[in-house]
Structure 1
C-alpha cells in the first residue's frame, strides 16, 4: 500500500532536487542492480537536516554504495561514516567517492553496522538507520547516547518497502498486535521502532510520507 496518490508521488518527484552527476550515476547503477536507494524526495530531506543541524559528523546504518551520504554532503556535512555488509557495494562506493572528489569526506566500513558503531565515539549530528528492519530499534537504542542534543535520527522505509503497511496502520490506529511470524520480521521491526521512538521522551518524532516514508526524531534531552 502507498500512502500517496499517483498524483502526489508525481508532484513530489517533479519538485525534488535534481541529481548531481555522481547521484545520477548511482541511480543508474541502482536500476541496473535492482538496488533500493532513498531517492531524491527523501534525499532532499536528508540534505535539509544536515543544513539545519550544521552537521559535522553523520553515521549511517546501511549505506550501499553511498547514495544517501551524498545528500548529507550536499547539505554541508563534513564527514559521513558509511557502513555496508556487502564488500562489493562498499567498494563501489569508495570508487564513486574517489572518482568524484569526495573521498576525504566519507569513510566506508565493511561489516555489521551494529558492531561498527561501537567503535565510534559521539557526538553525531545526524544518524540514518536504513539496514535490516528488525534491528532498527536496537540501532536506535545503541546510537542515541552518541547523538548530541538537537541532533537527528532518521529511519527509512517507514510506510513502504518490504513491509505490510496495513498491519502497521491497524497496530497504531486500533491497537492490533504486530505480526509475529518470521516472514513479517520487517513489518514488526518498523512497528517496534516507531513504538520505541514515540514512547521515548528523549526525542520528538514525526513521520514524513516522502519516498518510502521516513521517521525523523530530534534529540531533545
Structure 2
C-alpha cells in the first residue's frame, strides 16, 4: 500500500540517492526473496540523520541482511549492531559485509533483539526499530536509557506494511480504538508506538511519509 499520491511517490523515488554496489545487490536479493527493505527514499533519511547527529554507534532491532545499516554507514556512522532472528539472513549480511569490505563496522547478532540490547552498554547515537510491530514500544523503552542526549530513534512501517493503515488513521484522527492484539497485533503495535512516542514529553517526534513511513524521535536534553 502506497499512502502517497503516485506522482509524489515517483518524485521521491527519482530524487533518492543511487544505490551503492552492495545496496544494489541487496535490493536485488530482497526482490528475489520477497523481503521488505527500507528503500532508498527512507535510506536517504537514515544517512542524513547519521550525518546530522555525527553518529558513531547505531543499534538496530531487526536488520535482515544489513541493508539499513549500509545507509547509516554512508552517513558516517562508525559501527552498527545488527540484530536478526533469522540465521540465514544474518549470515547473508555477514557475507555482504565481508565481500564489500565493511565487516569491521558491523556486528551481526543472531537471536532476539530484545535480549541482545540487554548485553550492550550505551551510549548509542541512533536506534532503528524494525522488528515485530507488537514489540516496538518495548524496544523503545529498552534502548532509550542507552541513547545519548540528542540521540534518535527511528521506527519503520508506520504508514504501510503489515498494518491496517485506515484503522490507524481513524485512531489518531477520530479517537477510534485500535484493533485488539488478538485481532491485529501488527496494527495494535504500531498504533501503540505512535501514541507512546507522541505523548512522551521526553522526546520530540515527527512522522515522515517516506518509504513505508518512519517515525523519528529525538531524545530531549
Aligned mates of 1:165, 1:23 — CA distance in 2: 28
Correspondence 1:83-102 to 2 at 5 A: 83-102=83-102
Q: Paired residue for 1:120?
A: 120
RMSD over aligned Cα, in angstroms? 0.8
Q: Which consecutive unaligned segments of at least 5 residues does structure 1 have?
A: none
Correspondence 1:1-221 to 2 at 5 A: 1-221=1-221
Q: Which consecutive unaligned segments of at least 5 residues does structure 2 have?
A: none
Offset at residue 181 of structure 1 (A): 5.0
SS of the residue 2:80 aligns to: strand
Offset at residue 3 of structure 1 (A): 2.2
SS of the residue 1:99 aligns to: helix
Aligned mates of 2:202, 2:25 — CA distance in 1: 39
Aligned mates of 1:46, 1:118 — CA distance in 2: 24
SS of the residue 1:143 aligns to: helix
Per-residue displacement from partner, 1:101-150 (whole Å, max 9, x unpaired)?
Answer: 00000000000000000000010000000000000000001110101111
Between the two proteins, the alignment pairs up a number of residues equal to: 221
Offset at residue 31 of structure 1 (A): 0.3
Aligned mates of 2:14, 2:88 — CA distance in 1: 32
Following TM superposition, the consecutive aligned residue runs of length 4 or more in structure 1 with deviations greater than 6 angstroms are: none
Offset at residue 183 of structure 1 (A): 4.2
Aligned mates of 2:179, 2:35 — CA distance in 1: 26
